[in-house]
Amino acid sequence: MAECAFDVVGVGNAIVDVIANVAEQYLVDYDMVKGSMTLVEADDALLMYDRMPPGVEISGGSAANTAAGIASLGARSAYIGKVRNDQLGEVFRHDMRAGGVEFATEPAGSGEPTARSLVHVTPDGERTMNTCLGISAFLSPDDVDADLVASAAITYCEGYLWDREVAKDAIRFAMEVAESAGRVVSLTLSDSFCVDRHRDEWLELIGSHVGLVFANEAEVCSLFEVDDVDRACSLLAEMVDVAAVTRSEAGSVVLSRGDRFDVPATPVARVVDATGAGDLYASGFLYGLSTGASLARCAELGSIAAAEVITHLGARPLVPLHGLI
Amino acid sequence: MAECAFDVVGVGNAIVDVIANVAEQYLVDYDMVKGSMTLVEADDALLMYDRMPPGVEISGGSAANTAAGIASLGARSAYIGKVRNDQLGEVFRHDMRAGGVEFATEPAGSGEPTARSLVHVTPDGERTMNTCLGISAFLSPDDVDADLVASAAITYCEGYLWDREVAKDAIRFAMEVAESAGRVVSLTLSDSFCVDRHRDEWLELIGSHVGLVFANEAEVCSLFEVDDVDRACSLLAEMVDVAAVTRSEAGSVVLSRGDRFDVPATPVARVVDATGAGDLYASGFLYGLSTGASLARCAELGSIAAAEVITHLGARPLVPLHGLI
């Protein structure tokens, strides 16, 4: 395997988060399923934004958060995702590059605006999201820089991006390029509702391309339509080289070739905003892999990075993560 | 005096803040004067943004922050300021209205974009700002809704807006309408460099129109070109009905018709971001006036509101201020 220019390239929906604190009753009043991510059309997003309390805009997007975390930890990180040439697109591009992530996907000159996710944070720190994917969902194989992908040790794709056919093609193309170059292909299952919508396609995708899967308990159970998390983890572990399953405050479990490692969560005083916990877990884990750490240590690094991001609003680290490890 | 529809109407630059944490050395490297607000042209702002670390976007603008704080305290608050019909303009409008502020100034359909302020926060919580005023500086008398101003008990204008001739005319017009309707006219001096640029005009403006002035120590000293704060405060008090001078961690002093009240600051565990301290002091003070509180109590309410906003990033309250008083 040739020397790699990047440790990880992330592929996902390029999104700016609009974050506001709401009461529990707000979710009830507007029929929102706590902890979920719901895709909404532009018109509905406007209505929802209208009734949302004053917010804070912070660059987000699952794989983008992961890429930002990897750079903050000190590894070489790149990102592929689509924004418009509008103000929020500029904000997103700035935040990626200023955070040390290589991000060169050409912004679209026309079409829908940059994606926005309305993130409602309840007093318990849980986040409930309504996402308007905008132009981000139109990432195409043409946007995937094959040289970049081939030069990254790990290609990390986000399940959320699996929506429009063109974006599915982009993911398949990135995975095929990475595979041909002898690189590691990784996928995060993103959301249990996503898993439910795309179960058959994802089982096929994982079985044929993916070596490393990230998921939480609900997602892995949904994938195999079982209630028993341990059983779901075992089934996943049979399909891939490494499965990393996060369990919120119970930490995470890593399965690989018959081994199993249970790693605790890093304690925090108070969860302010859980947005990005899974994304930053992946940052720590992938950073660990890039430094040749053991799988148990990779999971530990994931816990440390996740702990930082849930202690404040927003899904990007507020302090250089390298100082925490 | 007829019953008022609003307690306060704020008039100022409608700005979205881009906030990032930087080291002390960053200010040195880029020749920035700590604690200052510098106006920059669009090209320079782009360069500065390019080198700025990843940021967080939060609606700002001095009088707009004050108006948001007044609404959060529970009084009837309105605002006049100019945005473009662009994404950041939408964000600004949403945050005002969602925070309970009446804000109906028509967004510009052409011209410069919505104003942006690059706010650099050092580890001591001090903020150093580079502001690109964009369309906000073009607020004109036509944008000032005379009926709205006449229907507000207090008209509160921001010194920062005193830049282009058209905006000066807008402020003068608002003050004249308020005066004719028998309302209170208030001005915040905003920044000692602003005072230095506009001293003669402001002395004339204060002497002829303004009943209530907000300033910090540097601003009031600059206004009269003296080093002695007490002497500067006395000189100001001779010109207006009420002068409220903030003194950072030393609290504030209020002077009115021969009386003087020294009021301590509300203690905070740690100053995270001083942005908006003066703006929110004005919120508390003006809210106090609207409820008929004593001047000493008005200053206390100012201290309480300011204390909330300096404990987190951004210049708008993150919790309903009414719960704190």
What is the spatial distance between Cα B278 and Cα B267, in angstroms, rounded to a whole number? 15
pLDDT in tens, chain B (325 residues): 457 999 999 999 999 999 999 999 999 999 999 998 999 999 999 999 999 999 999 999 999 999 999 999 999 999 999 999 999 999 999 999 999 999 999 999 999 999 999 999 999 999 999 999 999 999 999 999 999 999 999 999 999 999 999 999 999 999 999 999 999 999 999 999 999 999 999 999 999 999 999 999 999 999 999 999 999 999 999 999 999 999 999 999 999 999 999 999 999 999 999 999 999 999 999 999 999 999 999 999 999 999 999 999 999 998 899 999 9
Residue of B20, B56, B95 with shortest CB distance to A54: B95
* DSSP state letter for A322: G
Three-state DSSP class for residue B217: helix
CB contact under 8 A, A54 and B314: no
| Secondary structure element (H or E) that encloses residue A37, with its range | strand A37-39
CB contact under 8 A, A58 and B56: yes
What domains can you pick out in chain B, each with its CATH number?
6-11+65-107+136-324 (3.40.1190.20)
CB contact under 8 A, B91 and A55: yes
The widest CA-to-CA distance across chain B, in whole angstroms, is 56
A42 has a chain B CB within 8 A of its CB: no
Cα–Cα nearest to B266, from B190, B226, B325, B179 = B325
Contacts from B204-207 at CB under 8 Å and sequence distance 24+? B205/B171, B205/B172, B205/B175, B206/B236, B206/B239, B206/B240, B207/B239
CB atoms within 10 A of CB A214: 29
CB contact under 8 A, A99 and B53: yes
A126 has a chain B CB within 8 A of its CB: no
Give A88 to chain B, closest Cα distance, Å.
7
What is the spatial distance between Cα B69 and Cα B282, in angstroms, rounded to a whole number? 9
CA nearest B50 in A: which residue?
A94
pLDDT tens by residue, A27-83: 999 999 999 899 999 999 999 999 999 999 999 999 999 999 999 999 999 999 999
A56 has a chain B CB within 8 A of its CB: yes
Structure tokens at A219: 């997602």
**Chain A with chain B: Cβ pairs closer than 8 A:** 68
What global pTM score does this model have? 0.94
CB of B188 closer than 8 Å to CB of B11: no
B99 has a chain A CB within 8 A of its CB: yes
Using a CB-CB distance cutoff of 8 angstroms, which residues of chain A are in contact with residue B53?
98-99
